[in-house]
Amino acid sequence: MSQLRDQAATATRRFTSLREAAGPRATLLCFSHLRWDFVFQRPQHLLSRAARTMRVIFWEEPIGTDRPAPHLSLRSSAEGVLVAQPCLPAGLDPAAATAAQRTLLDGMLRELAVTDPVLWYYTPQALAFSGHLRGRPTVYDCMDELSAFVGADPMLPVRERELMARADLVFTGGYSLYEAKRHQHGDAHPFPSGVDTAHFAPARGSLADPADQAAIPHPRLGFYGVIDERLDQDLLAAVADLRPDLHFVLVGPVVKVDPARLPRRPNLHYLGAKSYTELPAYVANWDAALMPFAINAATRFISPTKTPEYLAAGRPVVSTPIADVVRQYGKMRAVSIAATPAAFAEAVDAALRLARTPAAWRPEADAVLADMSWDRTWSRMAAFINEKRGIVARTQETLMASRATRPTQTAASRTRPHYDYLIVGAGFAGSVLAERLAAGSGKRVLIIDRRPHIGGNAYDAPDAAGVLIHPYGPHIFHTNSKAILDYLSRFTEWRPYEHRVLARVNDQLLPIPINRITVNKFFGVDLSQSEVEDFLASKAEPIETIRTSADVVLSKVGRELYETFFRGYTRKQWGLDPSELDKSVTARVPTRTNDDDRYFNDTFQQMPLHGYTRMFERMLDHPNITVELGVDYADVQSEVSFDQLVFTGPIDEFFGHRYGKLPYRSLRFQHETHDQAVFQPVAVVNYPQETVPYTRITEFKYLTGQEHGQTSICYEFPSAEGDPYYPVPRPENAALFQKYQALADATPDVHFVGRLATYKYYNMDQVVGQALATYQRILAQPAPARARAEQVATAAE
């Protein structure tokens, strides 16, 4: 890491001189999935205008480099935008690539002395490495339904929801997109594509025909834009066949579709990508313009920038029925809409006739264009941003002023009411306590989470395909406690679900936990239950005191089964040999001699019928509970006025890692959607071999019972770096935790609850139990005088 940091530092030092050029202006930092130099479209139009008054940094997706270490390439574009390109060595795994981008980003922000930037997202994926930044404001300029594009990451909708939760403002690239997204954000505004009329106006006069177009005969019908799955190739071919006397010119890069498979005809001409500057000369020498878009998921929400550009260039347009084109331009004389090849060909004929009488339709087109300039679009967007910056600035100014005069009561604490409890973390621990304190004791509760959603690691959400997934890995509910089940049943109905797992061993899929079938298949025998008992007893190694995770398994099933099913898996999962881990880890997995192949022994095994997130929503739906997401405790601890704190984050973090860091094991999840109904025979298949880098694959539909033509799965790659998921049960870690526990005991107004705050490898039900027990302890506390009467009254209910 430090090497990386050094690298980032050297990389950023190279562009120190740009700081002077940038001056003291506010910074807009844009995260984009499109490259600045690709085609000149919405991001380029808006941000080059932003660059007239602000410093604009355009952060692109990484490119590969031969150099051994990540570095940043930064240059100034002709429009005055700083284009930042992270260059990463090939073969970096996704977690390392994310970490490298974050390091490079932080290095650049430090080096360029960026404070309070406007964060401007085109891609929610960038949250992975920029989620720690706070925008003033954060803007999501949603220009497409990216999840509908070919090859989209199935996690995109999940990340988009995170971005929606974080964003202060959402702009959409068209009206259909606005209608699809506005329910997800309270401050969303449609901004269909604008047009730079002055850029295209020369095309209404005569401009020299570019060399590669000059030889193409007239009449010419032209299209410019990215040639990908959005273009209806069949329609294009059919129209070209129906009108062999007309010539169809296609200008633009071919992306994601195989160029060799594009329809080829003598009257179809592919000229490749051209710069934005060159476009008017091409259009000037067409007779009419086309938008032969396919009507599919990828085009459902598009609002093509080229419609007004073609009109500004004085060309009639023929388009397929793209919703936003029909809506915005469908009634204009200059624009005809046609869906079938025959209708399209006829519309092309009509457009060619219109081209001969421009005076008949251009005034109408110009009237529409007059209100659509990119200048106007940007200035309206800027007004929204300035308003947000104003609001934030006002709050901070008041905050500063109030800090100076009244150090204990801040402006923010006055804008927020006083709370009885501040709860940090909206997972099981925090949410159960919020619910109990609010509904059970009438307390006013503020619950915050640094993540943009509730539910902690148990959060679930539909992915791009609409399959309900667990973004943080499979969560299966099981408990022996009727009380815990009854408590949660207040917030959810259930579906019965018994979890079954198979382990892939030597091309066989064998039940895990080890049972009679596992033994018989693994050893190629056919033993009865009692024979298996004797067989395992003969294999078991005598171990006097069971202390480690190796002891647990060796003493029950012997070395062969231990090495095959447990040793490799555990080494991968924990980065430690089972002999280095407390016995409690592998003791989680039972050994059986009968045919029971369920993963858990618990009395109650069931899943929340509508998912965990819905259950959490119902838990937190109380007038006394305020939920703030995307908020870190460190950011608000001095701003919120409260009596007591419930902390469910890592205990070592709470105490500033005073005694050093408590070790946590993390995971990287790789989510995939497959175009098939079923991927594997059970919900989870374990891969115990050390040669396979992941530990297990989960297929979520088994857990949720969802019926869907596609299926979503998740690989788990254990990792030393990343979010803290697993406390590591080892004696020295327990000793270190005890030191933090002593600090916690000496901090009476803070309640430490949950997996991270108590450093316990707890399941969900255990965390619920721990939170309910904490609530009982809080009830037993001597209450502050002003709350006591109220508490006694509600506790008696």
Interface residues with ligand FAD (CB under 6 A) are 424-430, 448-451, 456-458, 472-476, 632-633, 648-649, 667, 725, 754-756, 762-765, 767
Q: Which does 412 bind (CB under 5 to 8 A by kind): ligand FAD, ligand UDP, none?
A: none
The least CB distance from residue 511 to ligand UDP, in Å, is 10
- Residue 307 to residue 289: CA distance in whole angstroms: 9
Task: Using the minimum distance from each CB to ligand UDP, give the nearer residue, 362 or 567.
Answer: 567
By a kind-dependent CB cut-off of 5 to 8 A, residue 512 interacts, out of ligand UDP, ligand FAD, none, with ligand UDP
Q: Where are the beta strands (DSSP E) in 225-344?
A: 247-251, 268-272, 288-291, 317-319, 335-337
Length of the chain: 797
Minimum distance, C-beta of residue 578 to ligand UDP, in the bound complex (Å): 7
Residue closer to ligand FAD (CB basis): 107 or 427: 427
Which of ligand FAD, ligand UDP, none lies near 520, with the C-beta cut-off 5 to 8 A by kind?
none
In angstroms, what CA-CA distances link 262 with 217, 253, 319, 340, 537?
21, 12, 19, 19, 67
Choice between 532 and 589, CB closer to ligand UDP = 589
Q: Give residue 477's identity as a one-letter amino acid code.
A: F
Q: Which is nearer to ligand UDP, 431 or 573 (CB)?
A: 573
Between 59 and 562, whose beta carbon lies closer to ligand UDP? 562
Closer of 639 and 723 to ligand UDP (Cβ) = 723
The minimum distance between CB 659 and ligand FAD, in angstroms, equals: 18
Q: How many helices, marked H, and strands, marked E, lie in the chain?
A: 32, 32
Least separation, in Å, of the C-beta of 576 and ligand UDP? 9
CB of 772: closest distance to ligand FAD in angstroms? 13
Q: How buried is residue 490: exposed, middle or buried, by Cβ count under 10 Å (0-12/13-18/19+)? A: exposed
Q: Which partner in ligand FAD, ligand UDP, none is near 146 (CB below 5 to 8 A by kind)?
A: none
Q: Which is nearer to ligand FAD, 519 or 646 (CB)?
A: 646
Residues at the interface with ligand UDP (CB under 6 A): 503, 512, 565-566, 569-570, 573, 585-586, 588-589, 686, 688
Nearer residue to ligand UDP within complex by CB, 14 or 588: 588
Closest distance to ligand FAD from the beta carbon of 429 (Å)? 3
Q: List the single partner that 588 binds among ligand FAD, ligand UDP, none, CB under 5 to 8 Å by kind.
A: ligand UDP
Determine phi and psi for 171, rounding to 5 degrees. -110, 145
Q: How far is the CB of 760 from ligand FAD (least distance, A)?
A: 9
649 binds, among ligand FAD, ligand UDP, none (CB under 5 to 8 A by kind): ligand FAD
Nearer to ligand FAD, 446 or 767 (CB): 767
Residues 6+ apart with CB under 8 A from 764: 428, 458, 475, 477
Minimum distance, C-beta of residue 18 to ligand UDP, in the bound complex (Å): 48
| Closer residue to ligand UDP, CB minimum distance, 210 or 575 | 575
Quote the least distance from Cβ 730 to ligand FAD, whole Å: 18
Whether the Cβ atoms of residue 72 and residue 94 lie closer than 8 Å to each other: no
The Cα–Cα gap between 303 and 178 comes to 11
Paired tokens of 53: 């008054």
**Residue 665 CB, nearest approach to ligand FAD (Å):** 9
Task: Count CA atoms closer than 13 A to 679's CA, side-chain side.
Answer: 20
Q: Among residues 38 and 726, whose Cβ is nearest to ligand FAD? A: 726
Please say which residue, 386 or 719, places its beta carbon nearer to ligand FAD. 719
Rounded least distance, CB 508 to ligand UDP, Å? 14
254 Cα distance to chain centroid: 28
- Determine the straight-line distance between the first and last CA of the chain, rounded to whole angstroms: 56
Evaluated on CA atoms 384, 390, 393, 394, the torsion sign reads negative
Burial of 750 (0-12, 13-18, 19+ CB in 10 A): middle
Burial per residue of 194-222, b for 16 or more beta-carbon CB atoms within 10 angstroms, e otherwise: bbbbebbeebbeeeebbeebeebeebbbb
| Amino acid letter, residue 7 | Q
Considering the complex, state which of residue 347 and residue 753 has its C-beta at the smaller distance from ligand FAD: 753
C-alpha to C-alpha distance for 536 and 611, rounded to whole angstroms: 40
- Would you state the structure tokens that stand for residue 205, as one six-digit string? 């006069």
Question: What, of ligand FAD, ligand UDP, none, does residue 451 touch, CB below 5 to 8 Å by kind?
Answer: ligand FAD
Q: How many CB atoms lie within 10 A of CB 273?
A: 15
Give, for 627, the enclosing helix (H) or strand (E).
Answer: strand 625-629
What is the distance between the alpha carbons of residues 267 and 255, in angstroms, rounded to a whole number?
22
Q: If 0-12 CB within 10 Å is exposed, 13-18 middle and 19+ buried, where does residue 493 land?
A: exposed
Min separation Cβ 622 and ligand UDP, Å = 31
Considering the complex, what minimum distance in angstroms separates the CB of residue 75 from ligand FAD? Answer: 37
Q: Which does 566 bind (CB under 5 to 8 A by kind): ligand FAD, ligand UDP, none?
A: ligand UDP
Q: Which does 118 bind (CB under 5 to 8 A by kind): ligand FAD, ligand UDP, none?
A: none
Rounded to an integer, what distance in angstroms lies between the CA atom of residue 157 and that of residue 62? 21
**456 touches which of ligand UDP, ligand FAD, none (CB within 5 to 8 A by kind)?**
ligand FAD
The rounded distance, in Å, linking the Cα atoms of 750 and 196 is 58
What does 70 interact with, of ligand UDP, ligand FAD, none (CB < 5 to 8 A by kind)? none
With CB cut-offs between 5 and 8 Å by kind, which of ligand FAD, ligand UDP, none does residue 105 bind?
A: none
Work out what residue 503 binds among ligand UDP, ligand FAD, none; the CB cut-off runs from 5 to 8 Å by kind: ligand UDP
